[in-house]
């Protein structure tokens, strides 16, 4: 099922030195149940594309749709809260909070109606954090564990779309593969649409579809 559709997206940054054409007519569509890798050199426009998909910014030209509804007809903040989970290279956990509290807080911010404690515990278990560790402060975890906690936080409200910007950029190979394994599972077992920006060939290899970004131009590279 197509969940996100991008048509001819362009985006410019206006700087003192002039306009930077960060995205040029990007067109793509994304389905649930699949893992997408977006690859390309630094500065090619990957993060810009992701911030448009998250509804954090609006394109200069072109259109995005979520389940055939144009973003221009959506409350983008509400859309992001309900349907998007984001993961970054730096995990952005709150250092003064425990693993459990980090996940619970995001549920609270999202006005999650159910039992927040129970949901947070389930999500941490899903990403392989042991129960005995739930009340440890987030800074006391390894990088790989922190990224897994960040994933638990991102998926707690059950968004259909997971956007991950260089999620393994700070991790060694073993932890990278562990994190990517979780992301692949989210797509293949839980029917999420998982979109991963990555520099790592071994991460891109695990994707169902690879999209290449080259100087603001997006190309479908391969489909398995």
Ligand X SMILES: Nc1ncnc2c1ncn2[C@@H]1O[C@H](COP(=O)(O)OP(=O)(O)O)[C@@H](O)[C@H]1O
Give the x/- contact pattern for ligand X in 43-72, rule: CB under 6 A.
xxxxxx------------------------
**Phi, psi (deg, nearest 5) at residue 146:** -60, -40
Report the distance separating Cα 14 and Cα 28, nearest Å.
25
Burial tier of 158 (Cβ tally within 10 Å: 0-12, 13-18, 19+): middle
- Considering the complex, what minimum distance in angstroms separates the CB of residue 134 from ligand X? 33
- Nearer Cβ to Mg ion (33/169): 169
- Nearer Cβ to Mg ion (137/199): 199
170 binds Mg ion (CB under 5 A): no
Report the distance separating Cα 176 and Cα 166, nearest Å.
10
Binders of ligand X in range 85-114 (CB under 6 A): none
Identified binder of Mg ion from the candidate list 10, 27, 32, 47, rule CB under 5 A: 47
- Nearer Cβ to ligand X (101/166): 166
- Which among 211, 167, 195 is positioned nearest to 33, based on CA atoms? 195
Identified binder of ligand X from the candidate list 3, 4, 6, 22, rule CB under 6 A: 22
- Applying CB under 5 A, the span of 45-53, 170-178, 185-193, 201-209 interacting with Mg ion comes to 45-53
Q: Where are the alpha helices (DSSP H) in 8-88?
A: 46-53, 76-83
Report the distance separating Cα 164 and Cα 141, nearest Å.
20
- Considering the complex, what minimum distance in angstroms separates the CB of residue 47 from ligand X? 3
Tokens describing residue 4: 């996100």
- Judged by the rule CB under 6 A, the positions of this chain that interact with ligand X are 13, 15, 20, 22, 40, 42-48
């Amino acid at each position: 099922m197509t969940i996100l559709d991008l048509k001819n997206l362009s985006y410019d940054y206006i700087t003192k030195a002039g306009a930077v054409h960060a995205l040029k007519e990007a067109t793509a569509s994304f389905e649930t149940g699949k893992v997408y890798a977006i690859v390309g050199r630094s500065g090619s426009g990957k993060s810009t594309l992701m911030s448009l998909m998250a509804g954090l910014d609006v394109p200069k030209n072109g259109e995005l749709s979520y389940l055939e509804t144009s973003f221009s007809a959506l409350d983008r903040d509400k859309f992001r809260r309900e349907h998007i989970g984001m993961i970054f290279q730096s995990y952005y956990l709150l250092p003064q909070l425990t693993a459990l509290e980090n996940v619970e807080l995001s549920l609270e911010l999202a006005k999650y109606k159910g039992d927040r404690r129970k949901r947070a515990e389930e999500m941490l278990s899903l990403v392989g954090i042991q129960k005995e560790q739930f009340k440890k402060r987030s800074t006391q975890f390894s990088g790989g564990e922190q990224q897994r906690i960040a994933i638990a936080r991102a998926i707690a409200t059950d968004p259909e779309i997971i956007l991950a910007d260089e999620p393994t950029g700070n991790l060694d190979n073993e932890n990278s593969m562990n994190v990517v394994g979780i992301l692949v599972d989210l797509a293949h077992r839980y029917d999420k649409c998982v979109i991963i920006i990555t520099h790592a060939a071994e991460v891109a290899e695990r994707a169902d579809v690879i999209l290449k970004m080259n100087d603001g131009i997006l190309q479908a590279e391969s489909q398995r």
